[in-house]
Amino acid sequence: MRHYFVLFIFGILLIASSCRTDFDTVASSGDLKFSKDTVYLDTVFKNIGSSTYNLKVYNRGKDDINIPIIQLKNGLNSKYRMTVDGMNGNNGKIFNNITLLAKDSLYIFIETTADITDANPVDFLYTDEIQFDSGSNLQKVALVTLIQDAVFLYPKQNPDGSKEKIQIDGKDADGFFLDENDDTNGNELLFTNDKPYVIYGYAGVPENKTVTFEAGSRVHFHDNSGLFVSNKASLQINGNVSTTKNLENEVIFEGDRLEPEYSDVPGQWNSIIFADGSTNHFINHLTLKNAKIGLDIRNQDASTFQIKNTQIYDCSNYGILAQNAKINGENIVINYAGLAALSCVYGGDYKFTHCTFNNTWSGGLQFAVNLSNKLDGATPEANPLTQATFNNCIIYGSNTNEFNLDKNATTTFVFQLNNCLLKFGSTSNPDYQFGTDTAHYNAIILNENPKFFNLNLNKLNIDNTSAAFAKGNQAYIIPLDIIGSARTSPPDLGAYQNKDFPKQP
């Protein structure tokens, strides 16, 4: 019994000693080490909070030390804020008497929310520094953030305190209609390249109005935001060929998180929705990234939607979802979508020439191209697919089958693939007889690798070792490729001519 009593007393003493907080420490001597000497918080828009960045602080010595103060140089006026080993200190700006054990480290997490007026007016950088100790023991780590000015468009607040709403699919959504005579922004139906735009909620285009995007304009959508083109309204995107890697003439739609780690994250914003009866749409040189659905086109009127030289990447559902639409697409590239890069449902009329539809989304049943003449829940359920023609295209991806036909036999289903590279496994289904069904398939290259340059970087260029090299039909040629280079004869399949293959990522 006495043996167990001794063990019990020893256990109590061990627990008590492990809970002590009164460690003996020595004063910091200015010998801290840091994981970096400058923390760059990347680019943020004015008054939008940054991501959280970290700094690791090391005590390489043999003694436990006390750091008398860790603070931001600008003190309580700093636009940066920190936590130090989970502590908030004085408003995240000043921390006193921080213990750092021998051979140990601590984490500092840093964020910022700043206005353009806080930044240097020459380079728009907002800077501060984290100071450790003072006097002869003072050590510093610089903080740097680029603040970008922008035009902010968002729902106004009603007199009762509620947010402005617009109707989408018969339901209220946070949103507002663009005003060509807005008191603050002037003509909101004209997007220029003077400043980027940041949209909160849905920006609606009123009936009988046209929204226009000039070459070089940049539009950033906040979470759950998008653009809604109403019945009888139109959209015109007038991008142009760029001559530098800055894409100075491209129109770009993307999320409002500018940090590099968000560059390829799908689903950061909702969609560009074209409502029933919208009309006369034109898109040229648009790059759209990180939406849920890139272009959501619904029952447009009899006009043809022209989409040219357009890139759509990293969408969580669809790159283009077209419902009973009429589209002429040239030099389109779509890569990486949760359900389909291109999905044309409930019939319609479609022609795609020199387009590249690729889908490498993992972990699900997805397609590069899906065609259907029906829609669950619609009345009637089926609607004629009067044309779905693909000329000189690439339809590829990581699944065995990247081309899907979903037919209702009670109505029209017309499609044809001419001189296309296609990925599809073997099947006895009569709809997929690529070698013998010349009514639907002509000169199909089946299951050969197009050898895209770098799918992870959304670079779907090819070189002269690609199976798509010089396999196009001259009868369908679009003279210039997606970046404005002349196509040769016979042309390559897809949106890129092989000589544009980049030598460096």
Cα dist from 125 to 79, 92, 120, 143, whole Å? 12, 21, 5, 10
Q: Judging by beta carbons within 10 Å of its beta carbon (0-12, 13-18, 19+), is residue 369 exposed, middle or buried?
A: buried
Q: What is the mean pLDDT of the chain?
A: 92
- Sign of dihedral through CA atoms 112, 116, 121, 122? positive
3-state class of 261 per DSSP?
Answer: helix
Q: Tokens for 48, please give them.
A: 């939008």
> For the domain 26-148, what is the CATH code?
2.60.40.10
**Confidence tier at 461 by pLDDT (50, 70, 90):** very high
Q: Which helix (H) or strand (E) holds 13?
A: helix 2-18
- pLDDT over 50 (residue 166): yes
Instruction: Kindly report the backbone phi and psi dihedral angles of residue 58, in degrees, each rounded to the nearest multiple of 5, phi listed first.
Output: -115, 140
Task: Report the pLDDT value the prediction gives residue 457, as an integer from 0 to 100.
Answer: 94
- pLDDT over 60 (residue 23): no
Looking at per-residue pLDDT, the higher value among 46 and 368 belongs to: 368
Task: Report the pLDDT value the prediction gives residue 341, as an integer from 0 to 100.
Answer: 98
Looking at per-residue pLDDT, the higher value among 30 and 444 belongs to: 444
Alpha helices in 215-361 (DSSP H): none
Mean of pLDDT values over 61-88: 95
- pLDDT over 80 (residue 363): no
**Confidence tier at 275 by pLDDT (50, 70, 90):** very high
Angle at 90 between CA 88 and CA 91, to 5 degrees: 70
**Confidence tier at 13 by pLDDT (50, 70, 90):** very low
Q: Tokens for 287, please give them.
A: 């790059």
Q: Judging by beta carbons within 10 Å of its beta carbon (0-12, 13-18, 19+), is residue 297 exposed, middle or buried?
A: buried
Task: Report the pLDDT value the prediction gives residue 364, as an integer from 0 to 100.
Answer: 72
Mean of pLDDT values over 265-278: 97
Per the rule left: phi > 0, alpha: psi between -120 and 50, beta: everything else, 400 is alpha
What DSSP designation does 487 have?
P
Q: How far apart are CA 184 and CA 186, in angstroms?
A: 6
pLDDT digits (tens, 9 = 90+) for 119-144: 888 778 999 999 999 999 999 999 99
Name the residue type at position 428: S
Task: Report the pLDDT value the prediction gives residue 46, as an integer from 0 to 100.
Answer: 84
